[in-house]
């Protein structure tokens, strides 16, 4: 159904889903061996990076109609974590030139007293933020939970408003509305303009 409040509820539910997914990925991340898993491109890295993406998209300028999640009662630590997560998304995950990674070029020189100095080879070292530490991930998860609590309260008030809107349209009109059916997501729509 579509009412003015239903539009807002859809946006709030969409925002809540972003935070639910971010929290779930952080749960998986924190359940892993963060300190001991040193594999390059570990699945653990995908967990915290995906959490960052879902969290940050809730604050992106987009087509959602309802106001963004609020930080008005956030603690200074929560505000710092919020800014850090957005910076990681905007300056590290979304762009290849950033302050979170660098490449150093190195020359391997011979260091033997039995031979002439020479260049033995050239190499490179990629330095990157590859792992969010446990303390930061726990603070990040708490921030997601905070946003979820607030969004759920807002959603509950929308339920009340939608009930009132249905009553105002009349029960006959409500019963005449189209029945809900499962939605099919058209994967070919990925390149189309968002609504």
* Domain assignment present for 107: no
pTM for the whole thing? 0.81
pLDDT band at 85 (very low <50, low <70, confident <90, very high): very high
**Cβ neighbour number for residue 130 with a 10 Å cutoff:** 17
* Domain assignment present for 122: no
Angle between helices 4-31 and 43-57 (to 10 degrees): 160
Q: What is the pLDDT of residues 103-137, one digit of tens each?
A: 899 999 988 888 888 998 999 988 776 788 999 99
* Domain assignment present for 136: yes
pLDDT band at 40 (very low <50, low <70, confident <90, very high): confident
What is the pLDDT at residue 4?
A: 82
What residue has token string 């929308």?
158
- Mean pLDDT score of the chain, rounded to an integer? 88
Q: How far apart are CA 9 and CA 122, in angstroms?
A: 58
| Domains in the chain, number | 1
* Domain assignment present for 82: yes
Q: What is the pLDDT of residues 160-190, one digit of tens each?
A: 999 999 999 898 988 998 888 887 777 776 6
List the alpha helices (DSSP H) in the chain: 4-31, 43-57, 76-87, 134-169, 171-175
Whether 146 has a pLDDT exceeding 90, the answer reads yes
- Among 16, 25, 86, which residue's Cα sits nearest to residue 51? 25
Task: State the average pLDDT over residues 52-77.
Answer: 85
* Domain assignment present for 83: yes
Whether 151 has a pLDDT exceeding 90, the answer reads yes
* Domain assignment present for 35: yes
Whether 194 has a pLDDT exceeding 60, the answer reads no
pLDDT band at 193 (very low <50, low <70, confident <90, very high): low
Whether 142 has a pLDDT exceeding 90, the answer reads yes
Whether 195 has a pLDDT exceeding 70, the answer reads no
Task: State the average pLDDT over residues 16-27.
Answer: 97
**Cβ neighbour number for residue 121 with a 10 Å cutoff:** 8
* Domain assignment present for 116: no
What's the full length of the chain, in residues? 195
Domain that holds residue 34: 4-97+131-183
* Domain assignment present for 157: yes
What is the pLDDT at residue 9?
A: 93
Q: How far apart are CA 179 and CA 191, in angstroms?
A: 29
């Amino acid at each position: 159904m579509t009412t003015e409040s239903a539009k807002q509820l859809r946006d709030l539910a969409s925002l809540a889903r972003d935070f639910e997914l971010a929290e779930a990925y952080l749960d998986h991340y924190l359940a892993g061996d963060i300190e001991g898993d040193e594999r390059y491109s570990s699945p653990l890295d995908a967990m915290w990076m995906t959490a960052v993406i879902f969290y940050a998209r809730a604050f992106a300028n987009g087509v959602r109609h309802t106001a963004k999640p609020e930080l008005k009662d956030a603690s200074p630590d929560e505000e710092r974590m919020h800014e850090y997560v957005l910076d990681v998304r905007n300056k590290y995950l979304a762009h290849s030139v950033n302050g979170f990674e660098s490449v150093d070029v190195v020359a391997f020189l011979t260091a033997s007293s039995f031979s002439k100095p020479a260049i033995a080879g050239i190499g490179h070292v990629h330095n990157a933020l590859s792992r969010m530490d446990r303390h930061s991930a726990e603070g990040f998860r708490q921030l997601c939970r905070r946003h979820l609590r607030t969004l759920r309260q807002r959603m509950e008030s929308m339920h009340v408003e939608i009930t009132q809107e249905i009553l105002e349209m009349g029960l006959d009109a409500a019963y005449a509305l189209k029945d809900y059916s499962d939605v099919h997501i058209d994967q070919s729509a990925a390149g189309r303009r968002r609504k």
